[in-house]
Structure 1
């Protein structure tokens, strides 16, 4: 049964398309760990804003840095920030949602009112408020986005726990004297893994966009280091004179978002 479900998942067109897209992006990121054409922070006054050529396959930026090398490096930074964001957001949000959904009562009421209040703010705006407290930089951005993503995961997990906690297999486990923690983490959460996996992939999608938006505003990766959002910010004034400078990081952002979106939709349909 499990193998048949995995085969069905592997043949899902959404999963196939998403896997191919993300495979290409990950291949570039992994290649960039071991090899880059140029040092991504190396500047050359004589090679500013060059077009696409055999020497620089994506051209150079306004500081004479190789755009392809910076895209390789920036993609890694953007993905790592997204991973850190999801670890915090999904980890904390899942625990909060599971506990509030399972116990209910006053714990649920108070926690969900706080979650509702946080939901009143768009995630990027909430992250900007948190960044203003912690300061700018990669670590601060991961913490800020992670906190901003907690409410959405908490609500999703809470809803699934509320749906599952009165099912027959949970009642049977309760009659056998299974502890609450074992009930939550060994009986309920494994049975909502499909919804949680789909939510995590969609969360990656949103985290990439959020990182790009905040770095574009200057509160993420700081010069001379690159992220995809930071590259878009640096390139905006050269949109018409050197379009490859803008298009290359923009296309990678679009590919990441599409890849995670297709994978998330595929898992949702699989379930």
Structure 2
């Protein structure tokens, strides 16, 4: 523990990342058990109110408490981002590890498909998939997850190609270790540092992609909220009730900033 704290003190990026993400996660956890108001409850008499003691982030155009909706929307945004990265990492790692290790025709065919997917920006690719499966948070999660597979497949493939010629792999091969054990026990654990940093970067990208697609109306549907959907609803009131737009926007910035600091902290961890 002392060694960990000593390293932590020398890593301001990790400290900043832990503080910011810790506060966001704490808000989400508290929101599971308590919220100031029901996030979907409307009150016509309290529409578009500014920041006050009663509503610390004001109210929206339907009289709903913005802070309660930010707590709920942060949960939706983080869950979609987590699911997106999980799908991308699991499937991308399997694809990248197998193609990188075995090579040959498997590598050629799969990587050409990956290259074709890379020709489309992830948000555009997700929009195409959403147009087939429909709108909603589940469809958005699946669409973004599929769109994130190519980036992780390429990262893992490159690392496997780098590692499979190293001495410890040759030694394991001479001992008769099976190929799948070689990949998943000997090679993949040695690329965990690169993969961890890539996961945090991917999480940031997933948060921004979810916010962007929800802003366009293909994510969570009314009356439920996500941070991107809240920004879309608030844009026309930007100058009349700034808190309505600024609060979800600031939370998105903090989420991205926190995980960016964590990624840089992991990269600098020694």
TM-score between both structures, scaled by the size of structure 2: 0.97
**Partners of 1:123 and 1:218 in 2: CA distance:** 17
Partner of 1:181 in structure 2? 180
Counterpart for residue 261 of structure 2: 262
1:162-181 alignment, distance < 5 Å: 162-181=161-180
Q: How does 1:102-113 map to 2 (within 5 A)?
A: 102-113=101-112
Alpha-carbon distance in 2 for matches of 1:232, 1:218: 11
User: Matches of 2:217 and 2:126 in 1, distance apart?
Assistant: 13
Match of 1:76 in 2: 75
Q: 1:243 to 1:127 in 2, by over 3 A?
A: same
* Unaligned segments of structure 1, at least 5 residues: none
Following superposition, the deviation at residue 6 of structure 1 comes to 7.8
Q: Please say if residues 74 and 228 of structure 1, whose CA atoms lie closer than 8 Å, have aligned partners that are also in contact.
A: yes
2:150 corresponds to which residue? 151
Runs of 4+ in 1 over 2 A off after TM superposition: 2-11
Q: Distance in 2 between matches of 1:80 and 1:10?
A: 30
Q: 1:10 to 1:191 in 2, by over 3 A?
A: farther
Counterpart contact for 1:74–1:227, Cα < 8 Å:
yes
Please name the residue that 2:230 is paired with: 231
How far the C-alpha of 1:3 sits from its partner, in A, is 8.3
The number of aligned residues is 270
TM-score scaled to structure 1, two decimals? 0.97
Q: What's the C-alpha RMSD, in Å, of the aligned pairs?
A: 1.4
Q: CA deviation at 1:269?
A: 2.2
After superposition, the C-alpha distances for 1:158-193 in whole angstroms (9 at most, x for unaligned) are 000000001000000001111111101100000000
Query: In the alignment, is the contact (CA less than 8 A) between 1:93 and 1:154 conserved in 2?
Result: yes
Cα distance in structure 2, aligned partners of 1:79 and 1:10: 28
